[in-house]
C-alpha cells in the first residue's frame, strides 16, 4: 500500500505516515497563540484586543494539553478564558466610551516598543536555543493523563513518583502555598469589591472635572458678548444695572 | 517546481520531527515579548492589563514545558509537578491581579472620565 502524499515539492515527498501529529498540532496551537498575541499588540481597538487575547490564551491551553498538563490546560480555559477575560471584557464595556475605544499610541512610542520587544525576543530565543539538551526531540515517556497527582499535591500528599533528588521519605506537597494563595485571593477580591463599589455622590466627579475645565476661547468670547449686550440694554433678567 | 516551494523543504522537519523543549521556549519568548511591547505602547489602561496577562502566560508556557516529563526526556531533568503547581498559582494570581487592576481602572474612570494612562498624572510623578 502506498502512503498518500500531501506534498510533493522539489522531488521531496512528504507522506502522511511521516507526519508527527503531535508536532503538527503543536505548530497549529503555537501559531494561533503567537499570531494573536502579536495582533493584540498591533490592534488599536480595545474590543478587538480583548477578542485576540481570548484566542491567544485558549490556544495556549491547547499547548498545555499537548505538553501533558491536562489539568492545567482545563484550568487555563476555565479561569483565564472563562473568568479573567470575562472580567476584562466587562471592564472594556464599562469604559468604552467614544474616543476611548481606540486610543492610538504615538508613532515614536510604537517604534521604541518595537525595538525593545525585538531585542527582548532575540535575547530570549537565543537563550532558549543555546542549550543543546533542550533542542533534542522529545523522547520522554508519555504519562497517563490524570489530575490526581497535582490535586493531591495541592493538599499536601504526593502520589506521583518521588523526585530523584529529594531525600528518601520526603515528599513535599504544596499545602502551605495553596493556603497562602487562597487567603490572598479572598483578601484581593474583597479589596477589589471595596474599590469598585458604587459611590454615593451628589454630582459625579466626572461632571465636576468637566465643569472645572476652562471653556474654549470661542465659548468664552460668546459669553463675554452676551454679558456686554446685557450691560448695554440693562436687562433685569441678565442681572445688569436697571 | 518553484524556488519558493523548494525553500519550504527544510520546514518539513517541523512536522515530521517530535517537538523539543526549545519549541515551547520560543513560543513562551514570543508571548513574553509581545506582552512587554503591549505594556509599553498601549495608552488604554485595559490594554496595559492585557499585556500583563500575555507576559504571565508566556512565563507559564515555560513552566509547563519544563515540567513535562515527555518534553524533558527523563524525570530527573524535568521540574516535575513543581512546574505545574507554580503555573496554577500564576494563573490564580493573574486572576486576582486582574480583579484589583480592573477595580482601580474603574475608579480612575469614575474620577477622571478617561482610561488613558497618560492622563493619570495627579501625583506628578
Q: Any idea how long chain B is?
A: 125
Among A54-63, A113-122, A204-213, which stretch is predicted with the lowest mean pLDDT?
Answer: A204-213
CB-based contact A91 B116, cutoff 8 Å: no
CB distance from B119 to chain A under 8 Å? Answer: no
Provide mean pLDDT across the span A73-77.
Answer: 91
CB distance from B16 to chain A under 8 Å? Answer: yes
Q: Per-residue pLDDT tens for A84-122? A: 888 888 888 888 777 777 777 777 888 888 899 999 999
CB-based contact A50 B49, cutoff 8 Å: no
Q: Is residue B1 part of a domain?
A: no
pLDDT in tens, chain B (125 residues): 566 666 676 677 777 788 888 899 999 999 999 999 999 888 888 999 999 999 999 999 999 998 887 887 665 667 778 888 999 999 999 999 999 999 998 888 888 888 888 888 878 75
Confidence (pLDDT) at B112: 83
Q: Is residue B71 part of a domain?
A: yes
Q: What is the CATH number of the domain that holds B44?
A: 1.10.287.3510
Cβ-based contacts of B72 with chain A (< 8 Å): 140
- Smallest Cα distance from A217 to chain B, Å: 22
Q: Which residue of B has its CA nearest to A54?
A: B50
Mean pLDDT of chain A: 78
The fold for domain A1-104 equals: 1.20.120
Q: Is residue B11 part of a domain?
A: no
Q: Is residue B123 part of a domain?
A: no
Q: How far is A145 from B70, CA to CA, in rounded Å?
A: 12
CB distance from B120 to chain A under 8 Å? Answer: no
- Smallest Cα distance from A146 to chain B, Å: 12
Q: Is residue B50 part of a domain?
A: yes
Q: Any idea how long chain A is?
A: 242
The pTM assigned to this predicted structure is 0.79
Confidence (pLDDT) at A235: 46
- DSSP SS3 for A231: helix
Closest partner residue to B1 (CB to CB) among A9, A57, A60 is: A9
Name residues whose C-beta falls within 8 Å of residue B101's C-beta, 6 or more positions apart in sequence: B45, B49, B52
CB-based contact A23 B85, cutoff 8 Å: no
CB-based contact A196 B18, cutoff 8 Å: no
Provide mean pLDDT across the span A126-131.
Answer: 89
How many CB pairs below 8 A link A and B?
311
Exposed e or buried b for every residue in B8-29, given b needs 16+ CB within 10 A? eeeebeebeebbbbbbbbbbbb
What ranges do the domains of chain A cover?
1-104, 201-242
Q: Choose, out of B49, B70, B112, B122, the residue to mutate when testing the contact with A (most A CBs < 10 Å).
A: B70
Note down the domain range covering B24.
17-114
Q: Is residue B74 part of a domain?
A: yes
Q: Is residue B62 part of a domain?
A: yes
The domain total for chain B is 1
**Residue with more model confidence, A65 or A234:** A65
ipTM of the complex: 0.88
Closest partner residue to A120 (CB to CB) among B33, B95, B96 is: B33
CB-based contact B44 A164, cutoff 8 Å: no
Q: Per-residue pLDDT tens for A159-194? A: 766 554 555 666 678 889 999 999 999 999 999 988
Among A60-74, A118-132, A138-152, A186-200, which stretch is predicted with the lowest mean pLDDT?
Answer: A138-152
Q: Which of B110, B88, B122, B105 is nearest to B50 (CA)?
A: B105
CB distance from B28 to chain A under 8 Å? Answer: yes
Amino acid at each position: 500500500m502506498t502512503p498518500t502524499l500531501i506534498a510533493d515539492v522539489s522531488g521531496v515527498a512528504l507522506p502522511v505516515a511521516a507526519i508527527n501529529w503531535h508536532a503538527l498540532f503543536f505548530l497549529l496551537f503555537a501559531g494561533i497563540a503567537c499570531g494573536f498575541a502579536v495582533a493584540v499588540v498591533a490592534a488599536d481597538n480595545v474590543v478587538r484586543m480583548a477578542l485576540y487575547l481570548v484566542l491567544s490564551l485558549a490556544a495556549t491551553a491547547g499547548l498545555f494539553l499537548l505538553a501533558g498538563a491536562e489539568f492545567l490546560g482545563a484550568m487555563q480555559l476555565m479561569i483565564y478564558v472563562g473568568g479573567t477575560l470575562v472580567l476584562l471584557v466587562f471592564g472594556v464595556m464599562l469604559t468604552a466610551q467614544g474616543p476611548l475605544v481606540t486610543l492610538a499610541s504615538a508613532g515614536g512610542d510604537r517604534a521604541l516598543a518595537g525595538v525593545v520587544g525585538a531585542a527582548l525576543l532575540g535575547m530570549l530565543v537565543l537563550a532558549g536555543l543555546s542549550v543543546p539538551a533542550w533542542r533534542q526531540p522529545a523522547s520522554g515517556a508519555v504519562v497517563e493523563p490524570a489530575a490526581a497527582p497535582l490535586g493531591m499535591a495541592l493538599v499536601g500528599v504526593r502520589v506521583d513518583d518521588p523526585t530523584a533528588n529529594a531525600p528518601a521519605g520526603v515528599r513535599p506537597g504544596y499545602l502551605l502555598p495553596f493556603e497562602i494563595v487562597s487567603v490572598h485571593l479572598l483578601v484581593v477580591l474583597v479589596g477589589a469589591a471595596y474599590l469598585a463599589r458604587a459611590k454615593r455622590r451628589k454630582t459625579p466627579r466626572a461632571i465636576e472635572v468637566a465643569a472645572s475645565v476652562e471653556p474654549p476661547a470661542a465659548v468664552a468670547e460668546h459669553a463675554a458678548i452676551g454679558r456686554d449686550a446685557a450691560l448695554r440694554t440693562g436687562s433685569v433678567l441678565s442681572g445688569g444695572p436697571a | 517546481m518553484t524556488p519558493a516551494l523548494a525553500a519550504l523543504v527544510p520546514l518539513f522537519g517541523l512536522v515530521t520531527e517530535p517537538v523539543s523543549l526549545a519549541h515551547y521556549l520560543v513560543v513562551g519568548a514570543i508571548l513574553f515579548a509581545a506582552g512587554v511591547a503591549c505594556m509599553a505602547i498601549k495608552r488604554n489602561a485595559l490594554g496595559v492589563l492585557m499585556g500583563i496577562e500575555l507576559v504571565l502566560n508566556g512565563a507559564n508556557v515555560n513552566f509547563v514545558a519544563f515540567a513535562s516529563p515527555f518534553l524533558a526526556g527523563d524525570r530527573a531533568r524535568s521540574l516535575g509537578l513543581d512546574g505545574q503547581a507554580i503555573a496554577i498559582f500564576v494563573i490564580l494570581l493573574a486572576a486576582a491581579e486582574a480583579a484589583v487592576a480592573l477595580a482601580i481602572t474603574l475608579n480612575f474612570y469614575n474620577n477622571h472620565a478617561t482610561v488613558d494612562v497618560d492622563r493619570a498624572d495627579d501625583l506628578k510623578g
